[in-house]
Amino acid sequence: MRHWRLGARSPGRPRRAGLAVVAMVGALALVAAACDSGNGNGGGVSGDASDIAEARNLSDDDIRAALMTYTPSGVHDEYILIASGGHAGQVLVIGMPSMRILRTIAVFTPEPWQGWGYGNVATEEVLDQGNIEGKEINWADTHHPALSETEGDYDGQFVFINDKAGGRVATIDLRDFETKQIVKNPIAINDHGGTFVTPNTEWIIEGGQYATPLGWDYAPIENYNEQYRGMVTFWSFDRDAGRIDPSQSFAMELPPYWQDLCDAGKLVSDGWVFCNSFNTELATGATLEGGEPFEAGASARDNDYLHVINLNRAAEVAAAGGTTDVKGFPVIPLQTSIDEGLLHFVPEPKSPHGVDIAPRGDYIVISGKLDPHVTIYSFEKIMAAIEAGPTETDDYGVPIISLDDAMEAQVELGLGPLHTNFDDQGYGYTSLFLDSAVARWSLGDPYREDGWKLEGTIPVHYNIGHIATAEGDTVSPDGQYLVALNKWSIDRFFPAGPLLPQNFQLIDISGEGEDMQLLYDLPIPDAEPHYVQIIKADKLDPFLVYPEIGYDPATMSVDPNAPKQGEERIERNGDTVEIWMTLVRSHYTPERVEVNQGDRVIWHFTNVDTAQDATHGFALPGYNINLSLEPGETATIEFDADQSGVFTWYCSEFCSALHLEMAGYFLVAP
């Protein structure tokens, strides 16, 4: 048999005595014992651990990766990934290090399993909040989830997510992992630089992207420089209500550069917001008659502008009425921002992307898609330069701080740097799109003595976009694990046709220097998830069942009108038939509902089961209705019984041995 030696790859492992590492050492010892006993039975994948390793041709690294990620049945993951669901319009919840997908959260897109947008009035009301000028928009391109924070650390209460396509932001309550609210940005048809939260979640940042006239009213594109504008919106979050409060929110008009990502300052830079931009060239696209395409036209200059925004001061200006009204929404005019010193620019090299604030809030890290460096700006230097008074302005009159005055360091990493996260060892990790790699580099003082240098890279497969380390964009990153969000997965998985999945790769970053190990590949098969945040699982405290029978997830309280056991009934009032129905394993009460064609039907449900996981469905074929009623939950559907006939409803969750008997008749007399 093939003999493999433990620890051959990286002497000195494990370096840190995390629980997982201790468990791994024990497991490795068992495997070693099995190996040394040499009692392989050969032939196929059976026998003890060493036989299996040999039969499957697993290397030491493979075995180590398996031991780092294997999570026995019943054992929960240490971390939870909150991932955007890309153009599925949803959010994914994934355990780490097992990389098991735990659930999707329906957000902007109807989703039948969760009964999201299939008759349930409360869910349709949330989806309708995302309508754009009355038009139903039933897909979204979710980009950046933002977990709520307290003092710059994830607090496990809420998560926000933006829809790049529709310029919308959603609020998800992490007590039940359900979407509670969608707000449509009133002044921008699309967005990109959202969502990001301020350290105590007072504000949710939604930055724009492709400039249009504010409110996307028509203006000829020849008037681009004068009439088209960028924007950043600050949504005020009411934590007690668990909702964004549009009446306390405002936006800032920006020059028609294409604002890209943003991040909120923290600790020393708390109260400031940083957004990068591209297309300061003001390119407006090639036409059939010629001209430069955007990819060239928007990349011609050597620099674009980092936007440095004094959010606290901007909020004061907005509260004092220093705004104009665009589609009913308060917007601070660009000239007011200039006059009040709310906005400064700093040049950023070559098609910048990503703006990530270091854990202490002291440094701002910008990547340049076409520049092999990350550029690190000092918040202190930026403040000093603002204090000194910049002498230059851009064509719109916005003061420009020189790069030399603001820059702390540049570190050459490789080709196509995009995004940066941090760990607890004073390292930054930056995705390299063109190199298909993750670079680890050290921050300088006060993070590491020997800083501002590349430590090593690890290849990823392939074309990495975002990157996430455990709690890696907070004031206290955990390190230990990194997830690479790779756009391409060519050759990694069986190709089920020409459309390939995205590939999330889990990387062990507990070592130092160039010591990083790829542990696991997770194909994501239903969209292009864009960014994830990784929260320690013990910070989450979700409901196991709804706390009381008759609980309404929309209000997070008991609905007094919820059907109660023993009080089920059907009432007719003119042409309206109202039903109060309960569900319990394994029957509905009542099991027959008879109406006349044309009646208005208002149908209330309560799942009166209290056992965890005893979810019931209500599927009414022909009427496009499906509900998911979790233990304790109440919901209402309303529809016109416009088709006559005999319709059978049934429970669409396999809830019990007599689940097939959980059904009923809906009779609509012509």
Q: Which residues bind ligand CUA (CB under 6 A)?
A: 586, 616, 651, 653-655, 659, 662
Q: How far apart are CB 639 and ligand CUA at their closest, in Å?
A: 21
Q: Is 531 in the site for ligand RUQ (CB under 6 A)?
A: yes
418 binds, among ligand CUA, ligand RUQ, none (CB under 5 to 8 A by kind): ligand RUQ
Distance CA(441)–CA(374), nearest Å, equals: 10
Nearer to ligand CUA, 516 or 651 (CB): 651
Distance CA(252)–CA(401), nearest Å, equals: 20
Q: Is 465 in the site for ligand RUQ (CB under 6 A)?
A: yes
Question: Is 422 within 8 Å of 376 (Cβ atoms)?
Answer: no
Nearer to ligand CUA, 199 or 550 (CB): 550
Nearer to ligand CUA, 417 or 664 (CB): 664
Token readout for 369 is 């898609």
Nearer to ligand RUQ, 261 or 331 (CB): 261
303 binds, among ligand CUA, ligand RUQ, none (CB under 5 to 8 A by kind): none
Which residues between 403 and 422 bind ligand RUQ (CB under 6 A)? 418-419
Is the four-CA dihedral 403, 409, 412, 413 of positive or negative sign?
A: negative
Which residues between 98 and 127 bind ligand RUQ (CB under 6 A)? none
Q: How far apart are CB 202 and ligand CUA at their closest, in Å?
A: 43
CB atoms within 10 A of CB 223: 10
Of 603, 623, 618, nearest to 651 by C-alpha is 618
Question: Is 378 within 8 Å of 445 (Cβ atoms)?
Answer: no
Sort residue 413 into left (φ over 0), alpha (ψ -120 to 50) or beta: alpha
530 binds, among ligand CUA, ligand RUQ, none (CB under 5 to 8 A by kind): ligand RUQ
**Count of positions on this chain that bind ligand RUQ (CB under 6 A):** 11
Q: How far apart are CB 588 and ligand CUA at their closest, in Å?
A: 9
Q: What is the DSSP string of 292-344?
A: --HHHHTT-SSEEEEEEEEHHHHHHHHHTT--EEETTEEEE-HHHHHHTT-EE
Token readout for 390 is 């910049």
531 binds, among ligand CUA, ligand RUQ, none (CB under 5 to 8 A by kind): ligand RUQ
Among 530, 535, 609, 647, the residue binding ligand RUQ under the rule CB under 6 A is: 530
Backbone angles phi, psi at 157, to 5 degrees: -95, -45
600 binds, among ligand RUQ, ligand CUA, none (CB under 5 to 8 A by kind): none
Q: Is 369 in the site for ligand RUQ (CB under 6 A)?
A: no
Long-range interactions of 219-224: CB distance < 8 A, separation 24+:
221/284, 221/285, 224/256, 224/282, 224/284
Element (H, E) at 345: strand 343-349
470 binds, among ligand RUQ, ligand CUA, none (CB under 5 to 8 A by kind): none
Q: Is 522 in the site for ligand RUQ (CB under 6 A)?
A: no
- In the numeric block, the tokens 């400031």 are attached to 272
Q: Is 180 in the site for ligand RUQ (CB under 6 A)?
A: no
Nearer to ligand CUA, 248 or 586 (CB): 586
Token readout for 512 is 């130092």
Among 261, 413, 581, 595, the residue binding ligand RUQ under the rule CB under 6 A is: 261
659 binds, among ligand RUQ, ligand CUA, none (CB under 5 to 8 A by kind): ligand CUA
Nearer to ligand CUA, 146 or 655 (CB): 655
Distance CA(523)–CA(537), nearest Å, equals: 22
651 binds, among ligand RUQ, ligand CUA, none (CB under 5 to 8 A by kind): ligand CUA
307 binds, among ligand RUQ, ligand CUA, none (CB under 5 to 8 A by kind): none
Q: How far apart are CB 594 and ligand CUA at their closest, in Å?
A: 22
Q: How far apart are CB 296 and ligand RUQ at their closest, in Å?
A: 19
Q: Is 87 in the site for ligand RUQ (CB under 6 A)?
A: no
Q: How far apart are CB 627 and ligand CUA at their closest, in Å?
A: 11
Of 234, 84, 244, 92, nearest to 164 by C-alpha is 84
Helix (H), strand (E), coil (C) string for 617-644: EEEECCCCEEEEECCCEEEEEEEECCCC
Nearer to ligand CUA, 663 or 667 (CB): 663
Q: Is 143 in the site for ligand RUQ (CB under 6 A)?
A: yes
Nearer to ligand CUA, 508 or 609 (CB): 609
Q: How many CA atoms lie within 13 A of 146 on its CB side?
A: 31
Question: Is 419 within 8 Å of 353 (Cβ atoms)?
Answer: yes
Helix, strand, or coil here: 98? Answer: coil
Give the interface with ligand RUQ as residue ranges (CB under 6 A): 143-144, 192, 261, 353, 418-419, 465-466, 530-531
